[in-house]
Structure 1
Amino acid sequence: MSTIALSTAINEITCPHCGTAFTVDAAQYADIVQQVRTAEFETELHARLAEAERTRQTEIALAVANATQQSTEVAATKDIEIQKLKATVFRGDGFWTSSCSLATTKLPCWS
């Protein structure tokens, strides 16, 4: 941030870089002050926009991580459920059986 040093007379300012004194009228002085304020505003604006973008990117990354974790948890729960269902349908001799055949019994032949 630059500062403009005022001397005892309002019409004379000193350059902060080279130390040279300049005589300006009130309108020129107001223009210089406006330029400094505008430059500072632009710098602050860009800094805030950059911070907002970093915050947005962080929030997106967090949301993706949460979604991935939830998806993994759902998949694990479904895998466990599939294994339980397979265990109820699979017979010990290595063959699959249907739920209908488990519920029925052999009927005697009437011939």
Structure 2
Amino acid sequence: MRLLRLEDDGQFSLVEFIGDNIPRYAILSHTWGADNEELTLKDLAEGTGKSKAGYKKIRFCGTQAANDGLKFSWVDTCCIDKSSSMELSEAINSMFRWYHNATKCYVYLSDVDLLTNNHDLRFV
């Protein structure tokens, strides 16, 4: 399982864990945008993609996880190597377990702006 870690300098790194020794992590449930706007594993590896609309979701997840005392998070768009059919298949088969084992699950709804609507909601 590959997890995102938000570093002290605000950058993201990817850390791979094998077996059952998986640290506590948050997971992001979200709606997908256009393929060219989602942050990918390649973007993270190359340090690119910050201008993509999908980066906002990754930043939200990493920041909220840190606020909740978690060092790691998982987001499907950038934690899975979709260029590998074997890895993609394994991820699809493991996803229920990954959601089940997450310490926190955040939901990112791109069409809801709580600040504009003057709502103060936080679900945990």
TM-score exceeds 0.5: no
In our comparison, the structure showing a higher alpha carbon Rg is 1
Give the TM-score normalised by structure 2: 0.21
| Larger fraction in helix | 1
Give the TM-score normalised by structure 1: 0.23
Structure number with the bigger relative contact order (C-alpha 8 A, sep ≥ 6) is 2
